[in-house]
Every structure is written in C-alpha cells, then in structure tokens.
Amino acid sequence: MIDTCIDIGMESDGPALFNQSMRTARKHYECCECGSAIGPGDRHEHTTGLWDGEWATYRTCRICAAVRRDFCASYIFGQLWEAMQETHGLGYDSIDEDWPRRTDARPGRWM
C-alpha cells in the first residue's frame, strides 16, 4: 500500500544528489525516525544527500525503513511516524514482532 506520507514538494525540490544503501553499523547510531539504537553489527539504511545546498546523512533502523518503503511514496526524514499517524492512523507502537523486516533495500528480501 504505497501512499504519500508527506509531499516533499511542499518543503523542498528534493535532493540535488542522493545515495541510499543498507549498511552494517560499525559503531552506535540512532534511528532518525523512531530514535531507537542502531548498534554495531546492526543492518540499517544509510542515506546521504545534498538538500538545498546542505549535506545531510540519515540512518534509519530496519523497521522504520521497511515501513517507509511499504507505506510512503515520498517523505521527509525524521517525520515518518507523525506522517503515518496522520495518513494511516498508525504509530510506532502499532508495530509488533510479526512485522516483516527486509534484509536490504531490494524488494522481496525479507529477514
């Protein structure tokens, strides 16, 4: 079910440069969406881009990355769960251990 969580066109024209990949953490990070810990050895989504002349890097835990891929056609980093609540009535507490988690950014690859 792909829907627009947030229309990025309202805030920005999108990034001038953009790279997104799944990585294995070498040190501790925090998910930009839910604030959960991303520890050494954890797979997570790593995004770097140039927005409005400013470089930014975002790290997203696997659960939030999977939710964003499955529910959002466009989004603003750091506002996933606010958007999910507004558009789908779902919050982070709606996710349980049965939620499918992808191993990487390629569709159809589940943990």
pLDDT tens for 23-77 read 999 999 999 999 999 999 999 999 999 988 999 999 999 989 988 888 887 788 9
The number of domains in the chain is 1
Residue 100 lies in a domain: no
Give the structural domain span for 45: 8-94
Residue 33 lies in a domain: yes
Residue 39 lies in a domain: yes
CA 28 to chain centroid = 17
- Nearest Cα to Cα of residue 64 among 26, 38, 89: 38
Residue 1 lies in a domain: no
pLDDT digits (tens, 9 = 90+) for 18-38: 899 999 999 999 999 999 999
Question: In the block, which residue shows the tokens 């797979």?
Answer: 43
Separation between Cα atoms, residue 18 and residue 90, nearest integer Å: 28
Residue 102 lies in a domain: no
Token duo for residue 58: 């975002």
Residue 101 lies in a domain: no
Residue 56 lies in a domain: yes
pTM, whole model, 2 decimals?
A: 0.73
- Nearest Cα to Cα of residue 76 among 63, 60, 93: 60
Residue 30 lies in a domain: yes
